[in-house]
Chains A and B, each alone.
Chain A
Amino acid sequence: MSYGRFLLKRGFQGILVVWGVVSIVFMLRFITPGNAVDAVAPLDASPELRDRIAEELGLNQPLYVQYLDYLWDLLHGDMGFSYISGIEASQMVFTKLPATVELAVASSLVAITLSIPLGVISATRRHQPADYAATTFSLVGISTPNFWLGIMLVLLLSVEFGLFPTSGRAFGFIESFRIMASQGLSPGINALWQWLRHIFLPAVTLGTYFTALITRLTRSGMLEELGQSYVQAARAKGLPETLIRYKHALRNTLIPVITVLGLQLGTLIGGAVITEAVFSWPGLGTTLINAINIRDWPILQATLIVIGTGFVVVNLVVDAVYAYLDPQVVAE
């Protein structure tokens, strides 16, 4: 199979998965208790008002008609309107996407910056205090629930010491640069600083589990690589230990680490739901929770479809990169 055909096949499979996600998400509305009119109508609404609301929202149509209409609209980029506010679902979801992506990327950066050096130190100083410290950190990091860590960080660093804001997102990352371009360097830098202050605690909270995971992965990978015969050969050749560790062993260790990083990006978006709630971070997670709380199905559907599609796209990219790096995958 050629590389192009492989990509086409994977792309087609991706579309099928997205369609499956759309269908399941749509059907969720009908298998969960309660109905959409109850979410919109006041408790003491008369039956006439309920009927009128159902008619206005198109909920009095047969199920298959509603489904086909939804699919048709979706193919035309129309994700519907919020039952509650009447605002376009795509607008509500896509305006929140940058905040979630920012948070996922920032927490990945926190994780990468901390975990790879920790993993390497841990592996190269095996059974020494530094190794024990790194191993303990990773164990604690993996075992600590996100929401608890977030609350503790806020209590300590925000409420007690006043170092960071407790919640919210003052500016977006890109918005900071827009401010820099339109209003000058100083307001731009101030906006960027505010962005950094606001994102720091959520990024650390969300990135801690990830940091711990990658630390363990890097440590075991490094230990395995350092035991390989090519490392012994390099040492026999008299290459400096630093070169052997960081140029040869670490490079090979990073291949599976990068794969996991890519796949975990989707998980990060899922995990961000709790972190966003703790920090009132206005991203997809907060939107999802709000939509669930008020049974705003079009927003709930749009959010889940965007998250689901994100997973599929990340997987496709990882598959494509893998196949490019390892042609055996295409042949198989």
Chain B
Amino acid sequence: MSHKDSGGVNRRKFLGFAGAAAATAMAGCGGNGDDTESANPSTDRTDTSTPSGGDQTATERPEPTSRDGYLQRANRQAHEQAPWVFLNRQYSVYGKSDDIEWQARSDEFIDAYGISPATDSGDDVIINQSQMDSGLDPQDHRATPTDNIVMQAYEKLLDRDREGGIVDSLADDYGREEEGRVRFHIRDGVSFHSGDNLTPEDVAYSINRIVDPDTGIASPQQDQLAGVTGAEAVDGERAVDVMSDGLNPIVFSLFASYGPIVNKSWIESNDGSYINQNMDGTGPFVLETYEQNVQVVFNRNDNYWQEAAEISSLTIKSASESSTRVNSLLSDESDIIVNVPPQEVSRVEENDGSSIAAAPSTRVIFNAMRYDVEPFDSPEFRQAVNYAIDLESIIQNVLSTFGDATGQPTLDGFFGYNADLDPYPYDPEQAEALVEESGYAGAEITLETPVGRYLNDVQIAQAVASYVDDLPNVTASVEQRDFQTLASEVVDGNIETSPHWYLLGWGNTTFDASQTIIPLLTTDGVLSSWSNEEFDRLVAEAQSMPSQQ
């Protein structure tokens, strides 16, 4: 298989193998372009941003030569200009029965195909999540609980391993044909649960159903395949060409995370209500019964194109209350439960027959600060807020260690992550001095936070506000908000309606920095709270280059 994009060596992996010293030596001539600087913002304040709030950097660095380098540079720009209070990477915390063997994935998908029975009673697995599906149409939703159900039966062209690396799935080969066109070779010998064979026409239809509203539905997944304009089966070959508007450097990454493949004839011969209550995928599990908002039962697909799953049946149900889920695990009524809150972890750990399975997720938690309003128009003030917070203490005490501190918008392990950037250190004196320097001493600020949307979100917000409030020259408080209301103010495309300072989380299962920083931090980003010319330029440069992921 070719799996070619731009050819050449995966630079990031190469640097990883070569080690830090080699990476430094390569700086400026090999494309990383962002490894010549100190990581500690307290000693690396070369950014002499103007107190009046102009977001510009005076740092002179050699121009990167690769997409990875540009993304890393953009992350450094964000780190230095601090448009966010960088908080933590959220963990997915599961409770697991000892009747099964299973490891949590970083993309939050509970892959039942990866479950092995550890005892005789581990053959029929029950997963208990916080919500049921929003219908079984795999292309008409965008929620993790729904994915956890529908993606047991449906598959994508490419997939990801547990760490997020791209692996083959329904496509057994892929490569770039030209700038706006890539080709996927479709695996032979794959059939849908209904018995129909998978064809390139099914694949092309599936992609078009997502990106083209005239093909059937206004799929909420359209933006997941950002840049993709359509697909068509290739004459005489078992292949599909996917067209993009421009280069679309992360196109393969998108198809590894998104784009479930459906059976064209099955979809076209049924109405939406039927498609939302039935399934016809190619995946390792076949739908047995579906009770809306109650449970979904699957049986193993014995005609699966890979080896059949090790477990015989899979039941997915839900309990919105975390204590109900924990009790069901402790009573051996569930094998995997999601979102175990920190205060319940010890109950699960101390119980005979259950344990905790946790994995760093793809979600970053942050506090956005609007660059166009006082006092957040001052980079010094924004940096001060970052210095004021004891992030390690928050992770230790509020999140019971289920979190990793961040110092940039991109998470470790993602393409474009800048390994040289450490989180801001806790330095209240530096924070106080920066507040004075910003000219906003005496500022009163309010952090708006959703309630119950993210793991201990309100407690995190209260801790942040409390640390900032401890500064003698700033007063900070917390306002709890309904998530939908808060989100609607942020996503309406008008920055002036956004709160001045708000807590939000952002999941990015493409493992590519661009899918976080473009919507959240570029000037035209749908949820942006920041505008910075240099940052926009770096991101635009990155998006004009092929990815070497």
Contact = CB atoms under 8 A, between A and B. Distances in A.
A44 B526 contact: yes
Contact of A278 (B133, B318, B321, B330): B321
Nearest to B136: A85
A280 B319 contact: yes
Interface stretch (A135-143, A228-236, A288-296): A288-296
Contact of A41 (B220, B330, B506): B220
A24 interface: no
Interface stretch (B3-11, B228-236, B269-277): B269-277
A178 to B, nearest CB: 15
Contacts of A84: 134-135, 141
A38 B224 CA distance: 17
A95 B292 contact: yes
Interface in A74-95: 81-82, 84-88, 91-92, 95
Contacts of B280: none
Given A35-B488, A46-B526, A87-B273, A166 B324 contact: yes
Interface residues of B, number: 49
B321 A166 contact: no
Contact of B484 (A34, A42, A289): A34
A279 B328 CA distance: 10
A205 to B, nearest CB: 13
Contacts of A329: none
Interface in A157-179: 158-159, 162, 165-169
A5 B141 CA distance: 52
Contacts of B292: 85, 87, 91-92, 95
For chain A, the bracket of interface size reads 35 or more
Interface string A40-62: 11111111010011001000000
Interface string A89-116: 0011001100000000000000000000
Contact of B140 (A33, A52, A86, A92): A86
B294 interface: yes
A280 B317 contact: yes
Interface of B: 131-135, 137, 140-142, 213, 218, 220-224, 272-273, 276-277, 291-295, 317-321, 323-324, 327-328, 330-331, 333, 482, 484-485, 487-488, 490-491, 493, 506, 519, 526-527
Given A45-B491, A52-B218, A53-B220, 20 more contacts: A38-B491, A40-B220, A42-B142, A42-B221, A43-B490, A43-B526, A46-B526, A53-B218, A82-B135, A85-B292, A86-B135, A86-B140, A87-B276, A88-B273, A96-B293, A154-B324, A165-B333, A167-B333, A278-B324, A282-B291
28 contacts: A33-B484, A33-B485, A33-B488, A34-B488, A45-B222, A47-B493, A49-B218, A49-B222, A49-B223, A84-B134, A86-B140, A86-B273, A86-B276, A87-B273, A88-B273, A92-B293, A95-B292, A96-B293, A154-B324, A165-B331, A166-B331, A167-B327, A167-B333, A168-B317, A168-B333, A278-B324, A286-B320, A294-B134
